[in-house]
Amino acid sequence: MINNKKIMMLATTDNMIWQFLLPHIKYLQSQGNVVECVCAKTGFWFDELKDKYNLVCHEIPFKRNPFNFSTFKQFKQLKKLQKQEQYNLIYCQQPVGGVMGRMIAKKFKIPCLYTAHGFHFFKGNSGLKNFVFKSIEKHFAKYTDALVTINQEDYEAALKFKAKHVYKINGIGVDLSKYKVNKNLDKIAFKKSLGLNENDYVITSIGELNENKNTLRLIDVINKIKNQNIKYIICGRGSLEQKYKEQIEKYNLQDRVKLLGFRKDIPDILTVTDLYIMPSYREGLSKSMMEAMCYGLPVVASKIRGNVDLLGNNEGGILCDPTNNQDFVEAILTISNNPNYQKKLGTRNLEFIKNFDIKVVLNQLEEIYKEIE
């Protein structure tokens, strides 16, 4: 059982801890554990973890690319930290954090728990990349006391590795009490503040503006849809932001596609949303999609692992080929033109998401913790 331990909560980025792991840290603290965070500082998240949530945070400038030459320097920093703090459990996340954490666990002979939020090898990826990333995961699984997966495809792959224990849980959990329709929200005024009209049909995406999230193609999709009341808003920042702006200008869609940047009012945005869309090439089990489901929203998503786990056989939305724009056009029109169908999908999602409540996930993790020495 994990109690009265000093735990290194290791992630590649501060955003991972801030966005996904705070309830998990709070639970571990409630069991008498001391939890300290180790991650790269990439934004306001690092300072907020310290100042707002009173967490001890150690900054190590990890890179997301596991093949970056600075990785060796960062591993030396991590070894020095372990010698200094004497953690007796490593709890690691993300590919780079997962490798680093398990290297430390091996060197210092301490238990290690690794959560795979989506292996970097997956159906549809290039054969070479799958070979490289699968080989890495297979090797380091040998130094993993508990390998925790969050979707069926990853779980089946992990069972073939030599981790001491392999588990599947229902994602990182969503707080159903937090994500509820804001009945006091003035929807008309709020829509206006976003540059939308009262009767607009609102499609929303939440996520980084990068190649993997694949939302850039949706600008072309919206251009193909002639209904001017269908509007698309994107919450997030990223390296491709300028390309998004150029694409919006190319199609003269400034009135129909809104880049909102990073937002802390996601509950209000989802309250005025009609349809959530997730065209990613790779997901583990999307928290943003789960949040949308908490609002009884139908979903259009790419047909990939994680998304399939949440939507089933098109039971909570429509699954599309992530490379086929016309698939997305037809899915959007099918749902937006059929209110009864939209309601049916949303009702299913509202009920199904109860399986992914943070309380359910913490109970699943509690059973796993009992097996960790």
Tens digits of per-residue pLDDT, 120-139? 999 888 899 999 999 999 99
Neighbouring C-beta atoms of residue 150, cutoff 10 Å:
25
Q: How confident is the model at residue 125, as a pLDDT?
A: 87
* pLDDT > 70 fraction of the chain, expressed in percent and rounded: 100
Q: How confident is the model at residue 373, as a pLDDT?
A: 64
* Residue 67 predicted with pLDDT over 80: no
Neighbouring C-beta atoms of residue 262, cutoff 10 Å:
12
* Residue 69 predicted with pLDDT over 80: no
The single-letter code of the amino acid at 236 is G
* Residue 265 predicted with pLDDT over 70: yes
User: For 210-248, how does the pLDDT look when each residue is reduced to its tens digit (9 = 90+)?
Assistant: 999 999 999 999 999 999 999 999 999 999 999 999 999
Query: In sequence order, what are the residues at sequence separation of 6 or more whose Cβ sits closer than 8 angstroms to the Cβ of residue 351?
Result: none
Q: How confident is the model at residue 70, as a pLDDT?
A: 82
Could you tell me the strand order of the sheet in which 257-261 lies? 257-261, 230-235, 201-206, 275-278, 299-302, 317-320
| Pairwise CA distance, residues 183 & 346, whole Å | 18
Going by C-alpha positions, the residue among 157, 172, 170 that lies closest to residue 123 is: 157
| Pairwise CA distance, residues 154 & 149, whole Å | 6
Q: How confident is the model at residue 99, as a pLDDT?
A: 95
User: For 42-58, how does the pLDDT look when each residue is reduced to its tens digit (9 = 90+)?
Assistant: 999 999 999 999 999 99
At 164, the pLDDT band (50, 70, 90 cuts) reads very high
- Give me the chain's average pLDDT, please: 96
Question: Token pair 């979903």 is at which residue?
Answer: 299
Task: Provide mean pLDDT across the span 286-306.
Answer: 97
